[in-house]
Structure 1
Amino acid sequence: MSADTLPDRTVDAVVIGGGAAGLNGALMLARSRRAVVVVDGGTPRNAPAEAVHGLLGLDGTPPAELYRRGREEVRGYGGAVVTGTVAAASPTESSPEGDLRFAVTLTDGRELTARRLLVATGTRDVLPDVPGLADHWGHGVVHCPYCHGWEVRDEPIGILAVGPASVHQALLFRQLTDDLVYFTRGTELEGEARARLAALDVRVVEEPVTEVVADIDGAIAGVLLAGGAVVDRRVLAVGTALQPRLEGLEALGLAVEELPGGIGRRVVSGMAGTTEVPGVWVAGNLTDPMAQVGASAAAGAMAGAHINAHLVAADADAAVTARAALT
């Protein structure tokens, strides 16, 4: 990713995060002739994945290639995409006309001033603390049947349970394979859930899991249990704890709430990604952690259009005030 030069004037919008949501939001703003800057650290959530799936017309595209195209499209309409990480972002003094202003500082000391912010920094997947598990994340260890399911169909799959939501995950992956093992890992398995798994011929293992074992080629070979036995598996599905990426953005005061089932947290948002902080919108996995790339991109587009409409109204109000001052 090349680093565009930062403008030395106030821009219409700074987009923090250059994944699907951020880039599509920036694209909508740039196409509306807005001065927009995307700040991206280059660490998208799906970086470990080999390809994006479930995205019409682009299924199978590597994430890096998708984002490369997106950056070029934003630049093609006059937007800027800079490599960097935001160290601080906060509201500052309003313009003489009363419009909003935000100060954005990057970790390398560069600074920006913007009229509006779109935060699309995504979420962080925190894996259970099982030795060997993280080594296979995004390859042999998966979490989403819609993102990776077709690619692991008919493989011996294991579900590493983290809570009640893991039963639902098991039912989804059972659709993809006849060989499924559910490792409870000390979590509760209620009667109805247990009956469902039994009826679908899902083997339940309640012995504690101690390690994920790899074969000579580095791929998953199985799951080591506390008693010493190894359950052969080639793929493991596991729910992650979802944590919004808000480092450096604390001063914005974005509201965060717990997700159902204790699976993590998200930033609270309303229609088109609006927040309770005037002038700040959010989009993508930051506020909708379950959204795939297509849904995140769509949310970014909606937020970008909404920001432009907000700016249009502010520009019109400023023009009315300026004209009145002349009479």
Structure 2
Amino acid sequence: MKFSLSSLLLSAASSLVVALPIDDVQVYDAVIVGGGPAGLSVASALGRVRRNTLLIDSGEYRNAPTRHVHDVLGFDGVTPAWYRYSARQQISHYDTVKMTNGTVTKIAGNDTANFVVSATWADGTTKDVRTRKVVLATGLKDDLPNTPGLWENWGKGIFWCPWCDGHEHADQPLGLLSATFDDLPSLVREILTVNTDIIAFANGTDTPAARAETEAKNPKFQEYLDLHNVKIENRTIARINRLKDGGDPPHDPSLPTAPENDLFSVDFVEGGEPVQRGAFFVSFPDEQRSTVGADAGVQLWGGRLAADVSKGLLTNVPGIYAVGDANSDNSTNVPHALYTGKRAAVFLHVKLAKEDQAKETGVDVGSLKREAALDERSIWEYLRSEPDDIFYVRDDQ
């Protein structure tokens, strides 16, 4: 009971930020929407350069059901709640950053006359804040089918990322689940170095038409599955039952990884013998957790907030950046979230500095185009003129 109570308190602390007064008169340098790893990364980077920043956290996180965070150097094996708590503790030392709980409901305004961010705060009140830039770190949410037992066990023996959770279930009997039959071969490819006793639960999708489509995308897929002894179970799943909890007792928190020996049984609509598996590796759709980005005019590419990596994850709306799982670079993990957060923060900081310089001097350095130093002929002449240069080209070449 002592452990359960401490875990509950930590989970609450990881999403509950000190209720600092929100200044609705001040114009912030940046408002960050979302308090997962991506948003926290932005807050940390902006705090390092003393930007007046407000992070608004709804307390909803895609990895909240997961037992542990993995593949994050220095934090491998900690709980998601502990990771967020530790990050916030560090960021709290930078006094230009405020963090608070709330749900952003609207982003209005523009890059020229400042944005107005509307939010419902933890105490139920609503208030607008003004900011020069906005960073969307709003994340994704998974769209799971309503199969009984799937949501209840999500993130605890049923996972979608082999890097995040696969190692803890290595060499265990594994089940594959996917929204469509043609996803199954790619799941097998990703997990073969971790598991070899594999059953693909097609859940009634194994049809001649589905096989033809899969063959077109993955020629000789059945031969590939046969080579690795992957069995296909096409009965319709009625329920997934947990027989054993691999997280009880919890593993030593000082270790980066430890086996999680979950056990499940799968019942079928058609009846027959249930099938037992130690874990499930799955592929299901996901969607934006929040619509505030799209509502503000940010374009969506493949269901993601379209962001230009070359411009620091800037979206099509000037002054609005998109980082983490929510953006369009199609990578969804904690290290990626940290990287995109830092990248956006650097570009945002420099953009603000250029805007300030333009106001101070009347020269908009951000609008100046870099001129090409050499045209094609100049480049060729240079290559022929320096015999000692590694790029030297002789006339007879």
Common fold: TM-score over 0.5: yes
1:105 is the counterpart of 2:114: no
Give the Cα–Cα distance (whole angstroms) in 2 for the partners of residues 196 and 268 of structure 1: 36
Among 254, 276, 286, the residue aligned to 1:242: 286
Aligned length: 311
1:159 is the counterpart of 2:176: yes
Q: How does 1:245-260 map to 2 (within 5 A)?
A: 245-258=289-302
Give the Cα–Cα distance (whole angstroms) in 1 for the partners of residues 166 and 314 of structure 2: 33
Name the structure 2 match of 1:261. Answer: none
> Retained in 1: the 8 A contact 2:136–2:293?
no
> Retained in 2: the 8 A contact 1:74–1:80?
no
Structure 1 segments unaligned to the other structure (5+ residues) = 259-264, 323-327
Name the structure 1 match of 2:164. Answer: 147
Give the Cα–Cα distance (whole angstroms) in 2 for the partners of residues 291 and 247 of structure 1: 18
Ranked by relative contact order (alpha carbons within 8 Å, sequence separation 6 or more), the top structure is 1
> Retained in 1: the 8 A contact 2:109–2:115?
yes
1:124 is the counterpart of 2:124: no
Structure 2 segments unaligned to the other structure (5+ residues) = 1-15, 247-261, 364-397
1:2-58 CA distances to partner (integer Å, 9 max, x unpaired)? 222212311100000011111111111111111000000111111111111111121
Name the structure 2 match of 1:273. Answer: 313
Name the structure 2 match of 1:199. Answer: 227
User: Residue type matched to 2:276 in 1?
Assistant: D
1:203-225 CA distances to partner (integer Å, 9 max, x unpaired)? 11122222212327696521112
Give the Cα–Cα distance (whole angstroms) in 2 for the partners of residues 50 and 215 of structure 1: 18
Name the structure 1 match of 2:270. Answer: 227
User: Residue type matched to 2:72 in 1?
Assistant: L
Task: Give SS of 2:126's match.
Answer: coil
Give the Cα–Cα distance (whole angstroms) in 2 for the partners of residues 18 and 296 of structure 1: 11
- Relative distance call for 1:289 and 1:64 in structure 2 (3 A) is farther
Task: Give SS of 1:215's match.
Answer: strand
Give the Cα–Cα distance (whole angstroms) in 1 for the partners of residues 82 and 107 of structure 2: 29
User: Residue type matched to 1:103 in 2?
Assistant: V
Deviates more, 1:173-182 or 1:33-42: 173-182
Name the structure 1 match of 2:322. Answer: 282
Give the Cα–Cα distance (whole angstroms) in 1 for the partners of residues 33 and 142 of structure 2: 19
1:4 is the counterpart of 2:45: no
Name the structure 2 match of 1:325. Answer: none
User: Residue type matched to 2:316 in 1?
Assistant: E
User: Residue type matched to 2:103 in 1?
Assistant: T
Give the Cα–Cα distance (whole angstroms) in 2 for the partners of residues 303 and 168 of structure 1: 32
Give the Cα–Cα distance (whole angstroms) in 2 for the partners of residues 253 and 86 of structure 1: 15
Among 220, 243, 259, the residue aligned to 1:215: 243
> Retained in 1: the 8 A contact 2:176–2:199?
yes
User: Residue type matched to 2:154 in 1?
Assistant: W
**TM score, norm. by length of structure 2:** 0.74
- Relative distance call for 1:105 and 1:300 in structure 2 (3 A) is same
> Retained in 2: the 8 A contact 1:16–1:38?
yes
Give the Cα–Cα distance (whole angstroms) in 2 for the partners of residues 144 and 320 of structure 1: 51
Which structure would you say has the larger Rg? 2
Q: CA deviation at 1:247?
A: 3.1
Q: CA deviation at 1:296?
A: 0.7
**TM score, norm. by length of structure 1:** 0.89
Name the structure 2 match of 1:180. Answer: 198
Name the structure 2 match of 1:22. Answer: 39
Give the Cα–Cα distance (whole angstroms) in 2 for the partners of residues 130 and 194 of structure 1: 27
Deviates more, 1:245-254 or 1:306-315: 245-254
Task: Give SS of 1:76's match.
Answer: coil
Name the structure 1 match of 2:98. Answer: 80
Among 335, 346, 359, the residue aligned to 1:294: 335
1:314 is the counterpart of 2:329: no
Task: Give SS of 2:71's match.
Answer: coil
- Relative distance call for 1:311 and 1:200 in structure 2 (3 A) is same
Give the Cα–Cα distance (whole angstroms) in 2 for the partners of residues 33 and 89 of structure 1: 24
Query: What value does the CA root-mean-square deviation take over the aligned residues?
Result: 1.9
User: Residue type matched to 2:332 in 1?
Assistant: A
Percent identity over paired residues: 27
